[in-house]
Amino acid sequence: MVESGIHDTLCRAIIALFIPVNIKGEFNTSFKKLENLTRPFVNYFILPLFVFMNSGILLEYFAFKGICSNSILALIYGIIFGLFVGKQLGIMLFSYPFVKFKLCNLPSDTSWLKFYSIAILGGIGFTLSLFIGSILRLRAAALQTL
């Protein structure tokens, strides 16, 4: 599939669709075992690595200028405050007054802590857009060399 022009991440997602979950109406325990086996590795290594690599930070800056360079620190702080703190703060600051003034409600089984955990996920869209943008830039550069 990769040779056909489909990105390897999409290939893996398509292959994952074929992992059987239900077999003859019963839940597949081998799927649950696979999920439990890979969860810590994915959550604590793969996802943070994915976010870091697709955040636009060039590793060559760390090798030559060092991590204490002002431009690198500004970039790191910008990503941390813009993505992590800014998204959460923005979602919570705009949602709370709407719920407080009864313009909308939280679902009955949702607490503010659960809602905050959803607000943390707000940076995912930006990370995915950077990932897709990097794929498109690589494709455009490859097409220009033809």
- Residue 78 pLDDT: 76
- Residue 60 pLDDT: 61
Instruction: Tally Cβ neighbours within 10 Å of residue 89.
Output: 13
Tens of pLDDT along the chain (146 residues) come to 556 666 677 777 777 777 776 666 666 667 678 788 888 888 888 777 777 776 666 666 555 555 555 666 777 677 777 777 888 888 899 999 999 998 989 888 889 999 888 888 876 666 666 666 666 666 666 666 65
Residue type at position 8: D
Per the structure block, which two tokens stand in for 45?
Answer: 């290594």
- Residue 126 pLDDT: 63
CB-CB contact of 106 with 115 (8 Å): yes
Q: Phi and psi for 23 in degrees, rounded to 5? A: -120, 110
